[in-house]
Amino acid sequence: EPPPPAPDATVRIVRNSRPIDLETPVQYFDQFLTPIPAFFVRSHFGEPAMGLAPWTLGVESREGTIRRVGLSELLELERFEFPAVLQCAGNGRAWFRPRIPGLGWEKGAVGNASWSGVRLADVLSRFGGGLDGVQHVHFHGLDHPPSPKTPAYLRSVPIDRALDPSSLLATHMNGQPLPVLHGGPLRVVLPGWTGNHWIKWVRKLVLSSVEAPGFYQQTGYRMPKSPLTPDQTPPPGSLQPVTWLNVKSLIARPLRGSRLPRGPITIQGVAWTGQGVVDRIEVAAEGDDWRPAQWVSEPRAGAWRLWRATWTPSRPGEYALRCRASDSSGQTQPETTPWNKSGYLWNGWD
Ligand SMILES: Nc1nc2c(c(=O)[nH]1)N[C@H]1C(S)=C(S)[C@@H](COP(=O)(O)O)O[C@H]1N2
Ligand SMILES: [Mo]
């Protein structure tokens, strides 16, 4: 028998150990696909016990009848595969001032993987029993809260988003069967939308006329339309669900604190956005001297792009490197992101 694989948690930053929340160190962001052993992990209650029974997906129609679909039946549908960025809404929470309680993600609650599976649209039309009056699709995962007082992690998306051709139920990640930590055997993939919608261990889809009830849909993952200061209270009902990612970029190299030989230095990293594609990337090493960097991968909606720049310091010394991206809708990363109560969607210059 081969030896068991070495535990891989050491390559990631442990933000929480029970349930396990792991952050990717930035040096892994020099590759188009983030390797699974380095990919960030987030879950509210930890991974569920699976048992040995074959996985089934329940699809509950508007009339309330449940169709049980086996994985093999699901996989008779046409398969699709494409790369997409998965980012936690709270990535970068640690940078907000005043500080925000919650997981102190810095840079690496994000990754770009190749996802493959079947279209949610195909699953709903084949097994959903009709879409008349359906406004939202609820996703139930197999993970349960640790106590009856804790709300379940139940989320929903509007039907338009569920029917979008990019919305998948994925069984594979980077060409491998989806690991349990990432929601295997079946998870939601919603390119362009924050990670909280990418439900792992999907056991049931409910076709409904209303949003999912409960804390995680009705209270959590919401933001005011325009920023409020920490002392302002949002008017009731004014908070919007967090959905689309915003434009963002990170420097993968050189690492903070690096000592480098004199001469040309390569700066490299990644950039992405929610809607459209990133189309401009700039770096600054000295003051406000922003200079264009070069793309080293193609634009593709939902995925990130690698970039690179060469810079020769004018003198020996200490420098702060910065990068900022812009996207096809004309958005540019701000120097800092306006404060919001839960610390969502940080996209200040890296
Ligand atoms: N069932 C279930 N799905 C879930 C969660 C969860 O707690 N339970 N967490 C969500 C959040 S907040 C994020 S950011 C992503 C993280 O996916 P990953 O662990 O594959 O990186 O999973 C999402 N899907
Ligand atoms: Mo998240």
Number of the ligand 1 atom closest to the C-alpha atom of 41: 19
Contact 285, 313 (CB under 8 A): yes
If you ran DSSP here, which 8-state letter would residue 90 be given? T
Compute, in angstroms, the gap from residue 121 CA to the centroid of ligand 2.
Answer: 24
Segment-wise mean pLDDT, segments of 10 residues, the chain, 350 residues: 51 94 96 97 94 92 97 97 98 97 96 98 97 98 93 97 98 98 98 98 98 95 94 91 98 96 95 98 94 98 98 94 98 97 97
Number of the ligand 1 atom closest to the C-alpha atom of 90: 14
**pTM for this one?**
0.96
Give the binding-site residues of ligand 1, using a 6 Å CB cut-off. Answer: 40-44, 86, 88, 141, 143, 153, 182-183, 195-196, 198-201
Amino acid sitting at position 100:
I
Residues, Cβ < 5 Å to ion ligand 2: 42, 88, 195-196
The span from the CA of 119 to the CA of 326, in Å, is 30
Identify the pLDDT of residue 9: 43
Q: Which long-range contacts (CB under 8 A, 24 or more apart) does 31-34 make?
A: 31/306, 32/83, 32/112, 32/297, 32/303, 32/304, 32/306, 33/83, 33/112, 33/113, 33/114, 33/174, 34/111, 34/112, 34/113
Compute, in angstroms, the gap from residue 196 CA to the centroid of ligand 2.
Answer: 5
Identify the pLDDT of residue 237: 85
